[in-house]
């Protein structure tokens, strides 16, 4: 028995990598036995401090699920069943139809969607293939649904659309203002830092959220504002800070422009007026402003409760105004800190999987920048205009302007707003290629399905929410005939007659990323063997940058931007008298593609629910756990009622993970005019007992 135990132990191999879920970037160690991932353990150190949340502990459970996509599949049209084909047959078909689409409708008829769950190398390959091998500018990914407003807002205000500070600094702040983030469920290991700040180090916590999320239980103040009223609330805080002379006049004068316009705007936002809009008591607005304004180090943390709005960019700009007015930028334990919802949202943006920028956020309509990439990629001409965004792609498909689409690792049929509109658009596309690791609601519309590899089957890098580039490492052989995404694009490029993507390894792909992306310029796989590196890191001797904007902003001087409050595009009326807001829960992730294949996670939480205030439930004759119907102008779903005082009267909450009760059947596709992010957090609904 002892000898057999030792033999078994020798079969075990530990591989250090990064968790594939949220943007915290926690380290995990995969326990591999006989070619299979048998378990997951916390890796040492890093942002997670050697800890994992329940999703991280379960990260191995989906890898060997029996419905993994393991072979290329194809069908001639959507009336047929899929059949297994060889890689050569599948890739030949993809290339042939792509050439036909270009011949018929030009490169404007071709669209590509990347993935925040895939590596930097995969996303770089996708955008390079689209731009250099195909010649289309139409490239986007799911950041359009979560943090496009962060990029637009913080870039305009600061010059860089990313988290300004580091995760570990949160615990040393004097005041932490958490706005629109259910941090304990979405980013548990960041919530741990915030709780340590409050419970062990004497910090003050202010939570602003329509729901009484778990973190609010530890807050000194919970500002329960109506969904979509955040701009008014933030302007109200700034009104008090200015009126009570709590601004940092030296910082404003020496480092910023435009404060006078913002001062004038917020003069019309006294606490009493803001209370009428937000529902937050004027006295609490004053207290919160005083706490924030008097702090030596005040930090702002936010997530999709701020960004996923038709006014999302203005909400981000309002937070930037608040930070600059109090001098809380460019120093430790301060700043404006967006929490990325997926493991590589930051990296996918960094490497250019966006329609308006090349890698490194350099604008596509800049002749000098475009000339640089034409030379680097050895192409005579690149598109000279910005492409259309994700939601605009769906509109174009529905109107017949899109003839061909490639979707890598995303599930827009469930994740995008107004799902019926999206599914009608996907049905209209002449030829759809979907690359994923599982069948999804989106693969149902495909003509060709290509099997990608999971995080455990590839080498590469993820970039976490704190701009930290980290290595992921291959632990097992790909399932079936699955292939790395960057390799698939290299083979497609050859078929399109472009030879500039003949990489032999992910290391070679990353080397190219570093050569053409200044913020990654000094990073290499060799340097990532330790703690990872936070960009910008322009040279090989540079240590990385934990804090952005020290000594000055990336754009030179910070820019204050006036942000007047505008009501959400859809408000309650007699027919639809309640507001719906959506979000995530602890035990599921995104559209459930991975987590709903986890026995542990699905065993805990595997169905949708509708949070409703008990008074609303009583008025509607609804009992707890009763099936109810939620109806908007776009569709209807049914789910169990969950009566709770943690949500405001007149508001309901539904998690968006569950296809059986898809919250995005109800949501709006009205877009923010600046960032083109859709309104996912507020829409008018009515609720009925079934």
Whether the pLDDT of residue 146 is over 50: the answer is: yes
CA distance 285 to 293: 12
In this prediction, residues 375-401 reach a mean pLDDT of: 96
Nearest to 639 by CA among 651, 615, 656: 656
pLDDT over threshold 80, residue 4: no
Residue carrying the six token digits 């002379």? 245
Instruction: Place 2 in a pLDDT band, splitting at 50, 70 and 90.
Output: very low
The domain spans of the chain are 2-57, 73-145+343-524, 164-339, 578-689
pLDDT (average), residues 511-515? 98
- The yes/no answer on whether domain 73-145+343-524 falls in CATH 3.40.50.740 is yes
Q: How far apart are the first and last CA of the chain?
A: 60
Segment 329-376, tens digit of pLDDT: 999 999 999 999 999 999 999 999 999 999 999 999 999 999 999 999
Helix or strand run (H / E) with residue 304 = helix 304-307
The rounded distance, in Å, linking the Cα atoms of 209 and 687 is: 22
Once rounded to an integer, what is the mean pLDDT over residues 521-525?
Answer: 98
Look at residue 8 and tell me whether its pLDDT is greater than 60: no
Query: What average pLDDT does the segment 625-648 reach?
Result: 97
* Alpha-carbon gap, residue 187 to 560, rounded angstroms: 29
Q: pLDDT category, 12, cuts 50, 70, 90?
A: confident
CATH 3.30.43.10 is the classification of domain 578-689: no
Tens-digit pLDDT profile for residues 237-278: 999 999 999 999 999 999 999 999 999 999 999 999 999 999
3-state secondary structure of 617: helix
Q: Which residues pair with 688 in a beta bridge?
A: 629
The angle subtended at Cα 149 by Cα 145 and Cα 155, nearest 5°, is: 140
Q: How far is CA 499 from CA 132, 379, 495, in A?
A: 10, 10, 9
Name beta bridge partners: 655.
Answer: 583
The CATH label, of 3.40.50.1260, 2.40.30.10, 2.20.25.90, 1.10.287.1120, for the domain at 2-57 is 2.20.25.90
Q: What is the pLDDT of residues 421-446, one digit of tens each?
A: 999 999 999 999 999 999 999 999 99
pLDDT at 690: 87
Confidence at 586, pLDDT banded by 50, 70, 90 = very high
Mean pLDDT of 214-233: 97
Measured CA angle at 466 (ends 462, 468), to 5 deg = 40
State the DSSP code for 549.
T
pLDDT score at 9: 45
Q: With bands split at pLDDT 50, 70 and 90, how would you rate the model's confidence at 197? A: very high
Mean of pLDDT values over 585-606: 95
Cβ of 357: how many Cβ atoms within 10 Å?
A: 23
473, exposed or middle or buried, with CB in 10 Å at 0-12, 13-18, 19+? Answer: middle
Q: What is residue 47's predicted lDDT score, i.e. its pLDDT?
A: 92
Summarize the confidence of residues 535-558 as an average pLDDT: 96
Closest to 607 measured CA to CA, from 632, 650, 641: 641
Q: Please tell me the distance from the alpha carbon of residue 381 to that of residue 374, in angstroms, as a whole number.
A: 6
Q: Which helix or strand (DSSP H or E) is residue 140 part of? A: strand 139-140
% of the chain with per-residue pLDDT over 70: 98
Pick 164-339's CATH classification: 3.40.50.2300, 3.20.20.80, 3.30.470.10, 3.40.228.10.
Answer: 3.40.228.10
What are the phi and psi torsion angles at 85 (to 5°)? -135, 170
pLDDT at 11: 60
pLDDT at 7 exceeding the cut of 60:
no
C-beta contacts of 46-50 below 8 A and 24+ residues apart: 46/470, 46/531, 46/532, 47/167, 47/168, 47/189, 47/190, 47/464, 47/466, 47/468, 48/19, 48/24, 48/189, 49/189, 49/192
Mean pLDDT rounded to a whole number for the chain = 96
What is the rounded CA–CA span in Å between residue 391 and residue 606?
28
pLDDT tens column, 162-188: 999 999 999 999 999 999 999 999 999
Q: Over pLDDT 90: what percentage of the chain?
A: 97
| Sheet of 12-18, strand order | 12-18, 27-33, 36-42
Segment 75-89 mean pLDDT:
96
């Amino acid at each position: 028995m002892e000898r057999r135990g030792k033999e078994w132990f020798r079969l075990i191999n530990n591989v250090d990598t990064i968790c594939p879920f949220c943007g915290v970037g926690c380290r995990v160690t995969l326990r591999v036995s006989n070619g299979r991932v048998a378990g997951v353990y916390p890796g040492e150190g890093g942002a997670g401090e050697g800890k994992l949340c329940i999703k991280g502990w379960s990260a191995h459970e989906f890898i060997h699920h029996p419905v993994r996509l393991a072979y290329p599949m194809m069908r001639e049209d959507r009336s047929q069943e899929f059949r297994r084909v060889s890689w050569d047959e599948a890739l030949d078909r993809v290339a042939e139809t792509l050439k036909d689409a270009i011949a018929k409708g030009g490169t404007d008829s071709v669209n590509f969607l990347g993935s925040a769950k895939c590596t930097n190398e995969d996303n770089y390959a996708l955008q390079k293939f689209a731009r250099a091998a195909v010649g289309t500018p139409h490239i986007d990914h799911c950041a359009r649904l979560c943090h496009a407003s962060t990029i637009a807002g913080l870039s305009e205000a600061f010059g860089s659309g990313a988290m300004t500070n580091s995760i570990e600094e949160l615990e040393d702040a004097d005041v932490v203002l958490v706005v629109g983030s259910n941090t304990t469920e979405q980013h548990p290991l960041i919530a741990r830092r915030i709780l340590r700040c409050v419970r062990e180090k004497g910090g003050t916590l202010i939570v602003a959220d329509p729901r009484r999320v778990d973190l609010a239980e530890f807050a000194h103040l919970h500002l329960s504002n109506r969904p979509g009223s955040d701009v008014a609330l933030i302007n109200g805080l700034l009104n008090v800070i200015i009126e009570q002379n709590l601004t940092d006049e030296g910082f404003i004068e020496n480092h910023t422009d435009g404060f006078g316009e913002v001062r004038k705007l917020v003069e019309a936002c006294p606490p009493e007026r803001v209370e009428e809009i937000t529902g937050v008591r004027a006295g609490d607005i004053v207290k919160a402003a005083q706490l924030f304004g008097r702090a030596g180090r005040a930090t702002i943390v936010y997530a999709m409760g701020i960004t996923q709005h038709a006014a999302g960019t203005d909400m981000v700009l309002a937070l930037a105004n608040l930070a600059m007015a109090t001098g809380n930028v460019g120093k430790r334990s301060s700043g404006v800190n967006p929490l990325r919802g997926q493991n590589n949202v930051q990296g996918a943006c960094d490497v250019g999987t966006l329609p308006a920028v090349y890698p490194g956020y350099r604008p596509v309509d800049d002749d000098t920048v475009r000339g640089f990439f034409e030379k680097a990629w050895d192409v005579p001409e690149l598109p000279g205009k910005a492409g259309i965004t994700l939601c605009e792609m769906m509109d174009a498909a529905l109107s017949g302007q899109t003839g061909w689409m490639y979707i890598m690792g995303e599930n827009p049929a469930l994740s995008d707003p107004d799902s019926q509109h999206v599914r009608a658009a996907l049905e209209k596309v002449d030829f759809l290629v979907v690359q994923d690791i599982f069948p999804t609601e989106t693969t149902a519309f495909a003509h060709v399905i290509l099997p990608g590899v999971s995080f455990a089957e590839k080498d590469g890098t993820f970039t976490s929410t704190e701009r930290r580039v980290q290595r992921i490492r291959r632990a097992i052989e790909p399932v079936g005939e699955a292939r790395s995404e960057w390799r698939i694009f290299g083979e497609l490029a050859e078929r399109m007659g472009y030879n500039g993507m003949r990489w032999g390894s992910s290391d070679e792909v990353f080397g190219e990323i570093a050569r053409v992306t200044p913020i990654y310029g000094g990073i290499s796989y060799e340097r990532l063997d330790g703690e990872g590196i936070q960009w910008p890191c322009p040279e090989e001797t540079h240590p990385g940058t934990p804090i952005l904007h020290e000594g000055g902003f990336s754009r030179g001087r910070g820019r204050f931007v006036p942000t007047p409050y505008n009501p959400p595009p859809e408000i309650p009326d007699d027919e639809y008298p309640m507001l719906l807001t959506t979000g995530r829960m602890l035990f599921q992730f995104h559209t459930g593609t991975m987590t709903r294949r986890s026995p542990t996670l699905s065993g805990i939480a595997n169905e949708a629910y509708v949070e409703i205030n008990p008074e609303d439930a009583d008025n509607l004759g609804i009992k707890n756990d009763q099936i109810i119907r939620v109806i908007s102008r776009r569709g209807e779903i049914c789910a169990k009622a969950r009566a709770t005082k943690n949500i405001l009267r007149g508001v309901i909450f539904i998690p968006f993970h569950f296809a059986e009760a898809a919250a995005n059947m109800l949501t709006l596709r009205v877009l923010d005019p600046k960032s083109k992010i859709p309104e996912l957090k507020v829409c008018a609904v009515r609720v009925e007992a079934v």
